[in-house]
Each structure stands twice: as C-alpha cells, then as structure tokens.
Amino acid sequence: MKWITPLVVVMTVFGSGCAAQGVSLERSGQISINSDLIGPAEERMEGEMEVESSFFSSGVNLDIGCTLTASSAGGRLAALTELRAEVNGLPESGLREQLDTRLDQIQAALRTIRTAGHTIPIDLLSEQLGIIEDALDDRFIDLIKEGSTLDPTAAARLLILARPLEERYDSLHYIASKVELYARDEVKGRLSSLLWKAVLDQADGERAAYTSDLEELLSLVDEYRGEMVKAEEADRIRYKADLLLRKVGEAGTTQACDLDLSTAIGKVDLNCALGWVTSDYRAPRRDVDTGELGFGVGYAGQDWGIAMNCQQERRNYIDRLRDDDDRVAHDLDIALFWERGSWEGNLSISFDREYYPNDIDDEIEAERVYQVVADIASLMDHVRGASLPATLENELLGELGPEGALGALAIGDRRGAVDYLLVFVDDVRDAEWDRSIAPGDARLLVQEALSILPRKRAYDIDIPFSIAFPFHDGDLTIDLEWEGKSYPADSLLDHDTSTREVSYTMDKPTYTIEGRFKREELVYPNALVKDRSLAEWEGEVDTALACGDIMLKIFHQTTEYPHASEKDQSVQKIALQFNSEFSEASVSAEFADEVTAHPNEAGKPTYRETAISLSTAWEGAEGTFRLKFSHQTKWAIAALSDEEQVKETRHAEFSWYGDIADGMEISASLEWKNAVDRNEPTKDGDELVLKIGFNLTI
C-alpha cells in the first residue's frame, strides 16, 4: 500500500492536469561472501529497487521517490563434529588429550539431552547446558589460549569454531535458567520442549530448523510475558533469542517513500517534505517505523537572503525490545547570508530537541524537584490505601520516604532518588509475581512511579558564523562556531563546544596552495575529566605538470585532556597523490603515512599506518572500466628501531558501467578484501562482493 499511496496523493492534489516530467527505475543486487581461516563464514544477498518520478502543475513541483530493499544473510552454524575434526588434526600431545576430554564431556551432555526426549525437565536441560558451556569456555577455550606450544594458525582455527559455539550454548543455557527460575510450572514443559529442540538442531547444524525454533521462542515468550513468565525476565529471554537469531541468519525488507512539494511565490520559495521508512525483519529488534515531516521557506534578495526550515521526526520500534529507542525529534534552523563584491558572510542558528518517551534517564530534572516531591507523597498515600501486607507496605514506603527517594531529594541527590524509585518499581513487580499484591493495584502503582521517573531528553543549540574575503592573491575564510548540548535528566553529559578555524586558498594557473588551522575546546561543566582541547593544522600544494597533477598534503593534530593527560594524543599524516589523464584512460596513485602517538600513557605503543593505492579507468565495450587496488599496513612501534607489523589489509575492485540502450544504464563490479591480523589471527578474513545494477529512465 505504501507504494500506491504517493500516486493516489498525486492524482488527488494535482488532478488530471498534472504532467509527468520523468520516471526512472533503478535496480541493483549484491552478493557477498565473507571467509576466514576455516572457509565461508557468512553469505549475504541484498537487492534494491528504486522508483523516482516528478510531476508539475500550475507552478508546483512534486518529486516522489520510493525504495524497496530486501536482504538476506546467513552465518556459519558450526557443529561439534567440525570442532572435533580440527582437534583430531592436531599432533599428539597432552593438550590434545585435554581438548578431547572436554569434547567428550560436551558430547555426553548432548546425549543426555537427546535421550531425555522433548519432555525433558527444564532443570535437567539447564544443568546439561551448563556443563556444555563450562566445558567450552572455562576449559576448552582457555586451554587453547594458554597452549603456548600450539601453532598460532591452528589455535585461531579452533577459536573461530569454538567461540560461536560457546556463545550459542551460553545463551541457550541463560534462557533455560531464566525459564527454570521465572516461568510458572504450567508453561515450563512447553518452553523446555522448544529449547530442547533448539539445542539439538543447533548441535546437528540444522540452520532452517534452528532459526524456526528461535522465532517460535520469541513469539511464545512474548505471549507468556507477565502472566506466565516474569515480565522483565521475559524481556531478557527475548533479547538473547533475538541476538541468536540475528547471528545465525537475517532476512527482511525496508520500504522507504519520500514526497517533496515545492513552489515559489515571487521571491519566496516554499517547500514541504514528507517521508516514511518501514523495516520488517525476521529478528524483531530491527522492526521500526519512521516518519518525517518538514517545511521550509526562503527569500533571496539582491545581495542577501534568509531561510528557515523546521522538521519533525517520529521513530517507533515495533517490538518492546527497542522501546527505549523510540524517539520524537524537532529541528528548527534559521540562516542569514549576504554577499557584497568579493565578501561573503553566513550566520545561522539551529535548535534541536530529542525526546525518548520510554527511556528512563539517570536523574530527576532540577526544575521538577518540587513537583516530584508532591508526586511521591501522593504515591505513598496510594501505597497505604492498597491494603498490602504490613511487611511489604513498610518496605515500599521506606523506598519512597525520608530514608528513600524523598530523603535523597532533600539532600540534593537527584540520581539517588531515581535509584530508589526504580527499586520501588522492581519490588512492586516482584510482589505481583509472588501474588502478594493484586495485579490491578500493582499496575497502578508501577504506572504512577514510572510517570514520576525522568525520560531522556536532549537539547542542542548551534550557532555558526562564517566570513570570506580576498587576502594576498587568495581567499581567506574565518569560521566561528559555538554549540551547547544539555541533558536535563543527565547533567553529567552537558557540554559546550567552541570552534575557531581559519583557512586560506591561493589558486594560480599552474598550482594551488591551501592551508587551514583549527582550534576546538570541549567543556563538560559537570564532568571535568571529559574536557578536551584540540588543535590541528593542514597544508596542501597541488601542482599541474605536463605528465599530470601532483598533490602533497601534510596534516598535524594534537588532542589534550587537561584533567586526564594519559589520554593525550598526537596524529601526523603526510599524503602524496598523482593523477594523469590520457585520451581514453586515466591513472591515479596515492601514498599516505600516518603516525598516532600517546605521549603520556606509559606502555602504549605508537602506531604507524601506511597506505598505497593505485587505480586506472579506460573506455571500452560501450562503457567505462575501472580497476583499483589498495594495500594498508599498520605497525606498533615500541621504540624507534622496533617496529612490529600488527595488521595488513588488501583491497581490489574491478568494475564496468555504461549505457546499453537509450535511457538504460548498467553497472557491475567485483570486489575483494583481505585482512591479516598478526596479534589475533581469528580476525583474519576474506570478503568477496559481486554487485549488479541498472537504471532505467523514461
């Protein structure tokens, strides 16, 4: 329906007199394979279709764009047999015997689970999963890490297989423990049976069945939440299941539509924009609806102008797993610009507000303290009127009264008051679960306490000013900016940023010179340890020669923390670039060298990173071919004469794009990436990506 709605709007607003200015259809597909020392680790496919169209009627322009993106990814679901095969490939040693012993323990626990059948008691399932997780983590993985005689590559191969296994069994053990402790007896059998199936499907490497098990678990626990599974524990179970689902395989779609309406009345330009995005994925954590509405007005005189834009965005995550990330944002921008001769100036101010209706923040806002005191007193009256057991009533009143939240506010501890209120909410929910309080009374008390607690809010004011004018055969630009961010319910995050920057450009027929100096001060009035001062300068010379263009760039940056000098950092970079063009071909090459040092942190090495890239493009086959190669190396420098290579990355890409018919463009590329990490071979990997796309314009 969201694809049809924009067309309905067009026909309704414009009527039959609207004229289409053009329609374009673009489709693209991508296939990528990530590999590590074992082999293919993840396969990912993504397809995108984009339709754009423009309409014009009576001086009004309407642009419409709709995009549909579908993606699917699957990660390796390694079974215990693969890990056993790797161990069997090790030379005979005491370490191999110990590893074999751990695998025997794991297989024995899996046999116990399999033999028990789908009616396995949840306590037995949790116990056996604990044995598996312990054998993998504390015994198997630790033995590999401590096995100094083991070949680094062999150790990396074992860890690549063992770590995901341990993470999956650890999560399944976590879920089983939560079911054992926090599910009512009436549903433990059904949940245990589903977990039993998931454990065995994981052990057998049955990806489709394992994925289905996780989806059913997410749905079932959501159904039982509150009544049959303790609410907050149900959320923790679903978080783990969602994480497992995203790691083993992801699939879903994202639909996006944008409408942009513009017109002019004299010298005044008007613009209105509407957009929405909907994501629907197998793992519910990614499901989200986002809507945007914007309005802009601008006026341009002979040598000056003014513009104002305002925008509202609403973001709603469908599943309660991401409730805290629901957001409402408002932006207002006002900009003034002027131009007289060779002088130009810009001044603007922007106000941004973000509100997270479900995200409880860390402290009671200062302006709400008196109101919160009254609200807590009212909540205490409701506790007294709920006919609770005396012990529970005294406990809850203690968390709210002079020894609790009210006492914290009396001494200015606004964070402590939040902590007491959160404890109150948890205790009320615990009492409801234990049936010490009627569900209706519990819900009312929890809702009232939650209404008192602060929600995350952020305010941002940004005022940039810029002026540019001629100076010594070139152009000089001065930029000044102040930005203040405040968080009413978390004052430790409040900060101001002041930026001063001067840049100069001299452009001659055979060369160009550019220079820039920047100074930035970041101040946290309530968290001085975060204060930061940054200074950087940059110089660039670009020369045109008969053989091509040569560019030299030098960059230096120093970052200082007045109250945490061990975090001080300096960065120096030099880059040399060459570009040359021939009749039907072009060639470019670049070399860059960057050094990052931490002068006040003893024991932390200096890091040096070099990069070389080569690329060429030429015409052929009714299109343009492009070939690109890059090589990046990172060293850790303990002393001037002691360099240790820590990481190496290679990247190559071959592509072609061109027109195969009037109004139709097509592109194709093959990309390869290789990474080698000397310190952690488990991060070694290869990635191969194939992309194909075409664009049709009518």
How many whole angstroms separate alpha carbon 616 and alpha carbon 611? 17
User: Which residues, including other chains, have CB under 8 Å from residue 663's CB and lie 6 or more apart?
Assistant: 696, 697, 698
One domain, residues 46 and 86: no
In a domain, residue 345? The reply is no
Within 10 Å of residue 90's Cβ, how many Cβ atoms? 18
The label of the residue with tokens 């008196």 reads 370
Q: Which of 574, 652, 648 is nearest to 616 (CA)?
A: 652
Same domain, 133 and 218: yes
Q: Which residue has the tokens 């809702």?
A: 447
Instruction: Give the per-residue pLDDT at 1.
Output: 43
Do 507 and 655 fall within a single domain? Answer: yes
Q: Which of 453, 471, 505 is the last residue of a domain?
A: 453
Do residues 526 and 610 share a domain? yes
Give 652's strand partners: 629, 672
**Residue segments in the chain with a per-residue pLDDT below the cut of 50:** 1-16
Q: What is the DSSP letter of 42?
A: E
Strand partners of residue 345 = 338, 467
Q: Determine the Cα–Cα distance for residues 113 and 134; give it in Å rounded to an integer.
A: 16
Q: Is residue 470 included in any domain, yes or no?
A: no
Do the domain assignments include residue 105? yes
What pLDDT is attached to residue 526? Answer: 94
For the chain, what is the domain count? Answer: 4
* Confidence (pLDDT) at 278: 96
Q: Which residues of 338-354 are buried (b: 16+ CB within 10 A; e: fewer)?
A: eeeeeebbeebebebeb
Say which amino acid occupies 210.
Y
57 with 130, same domain: the answer is: no
- In this structure, the answer to whether residues 160 and 280 fall within a common structural domain is no
> What H or E segment, with its residue span, contains residue 317?
strand 304-317
The predicted structure's pLDDT at residue 18: 53
80-84-89 Cα angle (round to 5): 150
Q: Are 294 and 307 in contact (CB under 8 A)?
A: no
Considering the domain architecture, whether residues 526 and 653 belong to the same structural domain is answered as yes
Same-domain status, 449 and 580: no
User: Cα–Cα distance between 321 and 287 in angstroms, integer?
Assistant: 10
Say if 235 falls within a structural domain: no
Picking from 453, 481, 504, the residue at the C-terminal end of a domain is 453
Domain extent for 505: 490-697
Structure tokens at 689: 């990506």
The strand pairing partners of 30, in sequence order, are 46, 691
Tell me the per-residue pLDDT of 142-197, one tens digit each, with 9 for 90 and over. Answer: 888 776 678 888 888 898 999 999 999 999 999 999 999 999 999 999 999 999 99
Bridging pattern class, strands 304-317 and 288-300: antiparallel
- pLDDT given for residue 694 in this prediction: 78
> Of 167, 198, 229, which marks where a domain is finished?
229
Is 681 found in the same domain as 590? Answer: yes
In a domain, 612, yes or no: yes
343 belongs to a structural domain: no
Residue 273 pLDDT:
95
Q: Would you say residue 106 lies in a domain? A: yes
289 neighbors 313 (Cβ within 8 angstroms): no
pLDDT at 154: 87
* Helix and strand numbers, DSSP H then E, in the chain: 14, 22
CATH number of the domain where residue 494 is located: 2.40.160.10
Q: Are residues 127 and 164 in the same domain?
A: yes
Residue positions counted in the chain: 698
Give CA–CA dist 33/674, Å, rounded: 12
Q: What is the pLDDT of residue 20?
A: 56
Q: Return the axis-axis angle of helices 414-433 and 390-400, rounded to nearest 10°.
A: 160
Q: Are residues 160 and 210 in the same domain?
A: yes
Helices 414-433 + 231-248 axis angle, to 10: 100
Question: With the C-alpha atoms ordered 112, 116, 118, 123, is the resulting torsion angle positive or negative?
Answer: negative
pLDDT at 641: 53
Q: Return d(Cα 260, Cα 270) in angstroms, integer.
A: 11
**φ, ψ (nearest 5 deg) of residue 193:** -65, -40
Residue 149 CA from chain centroid, whole number: 39
Residue 442 lies in a domain: yes
Tell me, rounded to whole angstroms, the distance of Cα 137 from its chain centroid: 28
- Same domain membership, residue 193 and residue 117: yes
